[in-house]
Chains A and B, each alone.
Chain A
Amino acid sequence: MQTIDLQDIGLREMNKTLHAQADTTNQTAWEIVNPKGAHAIACGLDAPIEVTVKGSTGYYCAGMNQQATVNIHGSAGPGTGENIMSGKIIIEGDASQYLGATGHGGLIVVKGNASSRCGISMKGVNIVVQGSVGHMSAFMGQSGNLVVCGDAGDALGDSCYEARFFVRGTVKSLGADCEKKEMRAEHIEILKGLLDEAGIDADPSEFTRYGSARNLYNFDVDNAGAY
């Protein structure tokens, strides 16, 4: 285990050290202490390493992640995991707004709650939230899955394309062109796989699936009021 004290070496040195790890590195376990809410911790990683941040992080932690696993032992600031491509981010506390925005792949797990705009414009990332998510989550979601074990706030899945949303609790309101869908066997399978991977014990049959009603795919003047 390699330990980096952020107070000692500073953000740029820390990220440079992590970026220097190649696919073949033997130093696969890293620990970052004294994060103190700093921005851009462990951003842009691209190696099969596991980074554990001991504390809460600021904006854009683990942004653009590829291959790496990033554990946050605290809460995460706005834009965590923005544009994640692959790998895994596990947040022990809560996540602030626009978690996993535009993410293309990989998995993000939140043990607490996620704030507004969780998974906004998601393009393939899977996000599993053990608690609840805030308003406008998965706005313009294009693909991937958002799993919410608690409740969802206002306007879930507004203007979404083919992303899937599984919510166990209540949905305060659905966004434009988002609707409740039938939960078929294949969806139970997908959800079970995601819950297992996230290490969350929940019964897939208790969830409701939501997704696009596909009415806003192309502009239609009759729908102008719905945009």
Chain B
Amino acid sequence: MCGIVGLFLKDKSLEPQLGELLTAMLITMTDRGPDSAGIAIYGDEWKGRSKMTVQAADPDAAFPGLDQALSNAIGGKVKMSVKSTHAILDIPARSTAQVRTALHNINPNIRLMSRGDTLEIYKEVGLPKDVAERFDISKMSGTHGIGHTRMATESAVTTMGAHPFNTGDDQCLVHNGSLSNHNSLRRKLRREGIHIETENDTEVGAAYLTWQMQNGATLGEALESSLDDLDGFFTFVVGTKDGFGVVRDPIACKPAVMAETDQYVAFGSEYRALVDLPGIEDARVWEPEPATVYFWSHNAAPTSNEKAA
């Protein structure tokens, strides 16, 4: 199973409520997956700065002094705010690769959850309600976000097996389904020099998109080619700095419902997840077509460039 929710705001006045709306949507999907939960929020951009979200199993030991150690290592100011097992690092723009290396040298047990200018990813083992509470997600504002609650099938129930997966700067992916060719694809991608951490199938899907984009594909093109190269069941929701996209495999067993109003575009594994959104009674509600890439972007807002809706 697994449950996915996504919310892309067109109306700026809803931005302070993004975390609250997304949390409520995700909690409704709890019975689709009790193993782990995660939320990606696209929030504020800090001028001349980037951000990284990191996680530690032992935050009390791992985080104190980390900001200073990183500042010293990269020769630039790194600020840190700790939220439970996660910490948000406020780093100089375009220093993510440097910080990543420094982080690994300082403490290899600290895991990178996300990197980018606006993206923050929070994920842990547990129910959506508990995970959202732990990171105070409902107080977060932002332009768009994606949530996932997992029923594990292909790999262990761990923080690193939780979704969303970070696929590149400000990019993330969540998945409902199971990929059947992930082992061979993982070997292929590793040979191409792509870093893949776990035995999880979705991480391979995420790495595949990263690899495609590193080779010059746009996100839309990468999603199109995933329809040829990924074998198995999938409904993917992807996030970028400007927007979010949806694609389902050609068989489309995994459920997906979308709703659009003047204020937002919303995604849910089930309609239940959408019922408390403002103005849902008058929203256009539909199921995304199989093997079709949909994308909404703040760059093109408010018109969507969905295909064959």
Binding site for B on A (CB under 8 A): 36-38, 56, 58-59, 75, 77-78, 93-94, 96-97, 115-116, 134-135
Alpha-carbon distance between A135 and B271 when the two chains are bound, in angstroms: 21
> What chain A residues lie within 8 Å of B290 (beta carbons)?
116, 134-135
> What chain A residues lie within 8 Å of B272 (beta carbons)?
36-38, 58
Q: Report the minimal beta-carbon distance from A173 to chain B, rounded to whole angstroms.
A: 12
B179 contacts the other chain (CB 8 A): no
B286 contacts the other chain (CB 8 A): yes
Q: Is the CB of A36 within 8 A of B275?
A: yes
Q: Is the CB of B252 within 8 A of A77?
A: no
Alpha-carbon distance between A78 and B252 when the two chains are bound, in angstroms: 12
> What chain B residues lie within 8 Å of A38 (beta carbons)?
272
> What chain A residues lie within 8 Å of B273 (beta carbons)?
37
Alpha-carbon distance between A126 and B250 when the two chains are bound, in angstroms: 27
Alpha-carbon distance between A52 and B290 when the two chains are bound, in angstroms: 31
Given the interface contacts A97-B255, A116-B252, does A37 sit within 8 Å of B275 by beta carbon? yes
**Chain B residue total in the interface (Cβ 8 A):** 15
Q: Is the CB of B275 within 8 A of A96?
A: no
Q: Report the minimal beta-carbon distance from B82 to chain A, rounded to whole angstroms.
A: 38
B67 contacts the other chain (CB 8 A): no
Q: Is the CB of A77 within 8 A of B270?
A: yes
Q: Is the CB of A75 within 8 A of B252?
A: no
18 contacts between A and B (CB under 8 A): A36-B272, A37-B270, A37-B271, A37-B272, A37-B273, A37-B274, A37-B275, A56-B275, A56-B285, A58-B271, A75-B271, A77-B270, A77-B271, A93-B285, A94-B287, A96-B255, A96-B257, A115-B287
Alpha-carbon distance between A58 and B252 when the two chains are bound, in angstroms: 17
Among candidates B250, B274, B287, residue contacting A96 with C-beta atoms closer than 8 Å: B287
> What chain B residues lie within 8 Å of A135 (beta carbons)?
250, 252, 290
Alpha-carbon distance between A58 and B287 when the two chains are bound, in angstroms: 13
> What chain A residues lie within 8 Å of B274 (beta carbons)?
37
Q: Is the CB of B285 within 8 A of A58?
A: no
> What chain A residues lie within 8 Å of B253 (beta carbons)?
97
Q: Report the minimal beta-carbon distance from B119 to chain A, rounded to whole angstroms.
A: 29
In the complex, which of the residues B257, B272, B285 has the most CB atoms of chain A within 10 Å of its own CB atom? Answer: B272
Given the interface contacts A37-B275, A78-B255, does A58 sit within 8 Å of B270 by beta carbon? yes
Interface string of B247-264 (1 = CB under 8 A from A): 000101101010000000
In the complex, which of the residues A37, A75, A78, A115 has the most CB atoms of chain B within 10 Å of its own CB atom? Answer: A37
Alpha-carbon distance between A67 and B258 when the two chains are bound, in angstroms: 33
Q: Report the minimal beta-carbon distance from A133 to chain B, rounded to whole angstroms.
A: 12
Q: Which 3 A-B pairs have the closest CB atoms?
A: A37-B272, A37-B271, A36-B275
Alpha-carbon distance between A93 and B284 when the two chains are bound, in angstroms: 11
Interface string of B263-292 (1 = CB under 8 A from A): 000000011111100000000011100100
Residue of A nearest to B252 (CB): A116
Alpha-carbon distance between A58 and B285 when the two chains are bound, in angstroms: 14
Alpha-carbon distance between A93 and B286 when the two chains are bound, in angstroms: 10
Alpha-carbon distance between A127 and B122 when the two chains are bound, in angstroms: 45
Alpha-carbon distance between A210 and B272 when the two chains are bound, in angstroms: 36
Q: Report the minimal beta-carbon distance from A146 to chain B, rounded to whole angstroms.
A: 19
Alpha-carbon distance between A135 and B250 when the two chains are bound, in angstroms: 9
> What chain A residues lie within 8 Å of B255 (beta carbons)?
78, 96-97
> What chain B residues lie within 8 Å of A59 (beta carbons)?
270
Q: Report the minimal beta-carbon distance from A76 to chain B, rounded to whole angstroms.
A: 9
Alpha-carbon distance between A36 and B274 when the two chains are bound, in angstroms: 9
Q: Is the CB of A75 within 8 A of B270?
A: no
Residue of B nearest to A34 (CB): B275
Alpha-carbon distance between A56 and B274 when the two chains are bound, in angstroms: 11
Residue of B nearest to A76 (CB): B271
Q: Report the minimal beta-carbon distance from B244 to chain A, rounded to whole angstroms.
A: 22
Alpha-carbon distance between A93 and B287 when the two chains are bound, in angstroms: 12
Q: Is the CB of B285 within 8 A of A75?
A: yes
Alpha-carbon distance between A116 and B289 when the two chains are bound, in angstroms: 9
In B29-69, the 8 Å CB interface with A consists of none
Extra contacts, 10 of them, besides A37-B274, A94-B287 (Cβ < 8 A), are A37-B273, A56-B275, A94-B285, A94-B286, A97-B252, A97-B255, A97-B287, A115-B287, A116-B290, A134-B290
